[in-house]
Every structure is written in C-alpha cells, then in structure tokens.
Amino acid sequence: VQLQASGGGLVQAGGSLRLSCAASGRTFSNSVMGWFRRAPGKDREFVAAITWNGDNTYYSNSVKGRFSISRDNAENALYLQLNSLKPEDTAVYYCAARGSGITVINRAPSQWRFWGQGTQVTVSS
C-alpha cells in the first residue's frame, strides 16, 4: 500500500480543513486506516481510525467531537475533516494503514505498517 496525504495548510483558530489520503495497492479496502499527527517536539500520536467498511470510527479524546474520519473504498481514499481547529492542533498529519486483513484498531504508531509522507496543518491564534 502506498499512501499520499494532502489538504494541509494555514488556518485561523476556529476554522476547518479537510485532509485527504490517496491509497494505491490491493490491500487498502480490507485494512483499518487511520490518521496520526506529530507536533513540534512531541511524539507521533493517534488521532483517528476507521474500520475497513467504515462502520466504526475511533478518536483521541483531544479531537473527539471536532474531527471526523471517513473513507471511500471505491475511490481508494481516506479523509479527515478538521473542524473548530485550535492552535494545539498544529502538527504534521499522517495517514496510515495497518495492513491487509488487519481489522483490529490499535492506537500505537508502531503497530501500523504503511505510512504516507505527511501534510502540515498550522493553526494560528
């Protein structure tokens, strides 16, 4: 699986962005997919994940109620809608896939096999 994230940018606090992740490879449609982020000086952290069929979604407490993850298997695409952005959301955002046939969500970055290159989100106060 190859992943390409896009959609980042500079936005004022309270604003919105939509991140996209284009995936290639046969294993996308049956893999758990997710988003992580790395803020300056911090470790990569879990943001959101979605099961292969989109029936279940999971969020970190810091973004729950503000961010929304979705996927379109027909388009091989993963999305993250970011609303009510805060300066502390500033980070590089990465899309990730656990791997073919893996259906269990895991919030540890080490448990995800495939990564995109990241897209920068900067929220000004």
Angle at alpha carbon of residue 81, lines to 42 and 28, rounded to 5°: 85
Mean of per-residue pLDDT scores for the chain: 94
User: Based on the number of CB atoms within 10 Å of its own CB, is 17 exposed (0-12), middle (13-18) or buried (19 or more)?
Assistant: buried
pLDDT tens per residue across span 32-85: 999 999 999 999 999 999 999 999 999 999 999 999 999 999 899 999 999 999
Decide if pLDDT at 96 tops 90.
yes
Confidence (pLDDT) at 27? 57
> Residue 116's pLDDT band (boundaries 50, 70, 90)?
very high
pLDDT band of residue 102 (cuts 50, 70, 90) is: confident
CA 77 to each of CA 32, 54, 59, 89, 122: distance values in angstroms, whole numbers, following the listed order: 12, 12, 19, 22, 23
Residues in the chain: 125
Classify strands 33-38 and 91-97 as parallel, antiparallel or unpaired: antiparallel
pLDDT of residue 50: 96
Tokens of 102: 């893996």
* pLDDT, position 108: 95
Reported as a pLDDT band with limits 50, 70 and 90, residue 24 is confident
Measured CA distances, 82 to 42, 47, 114 (Å): 20, 11, 22
Residue 28 pLDDT > 80, yes or no? no
Distance CA 99, CA 13 (A): 35
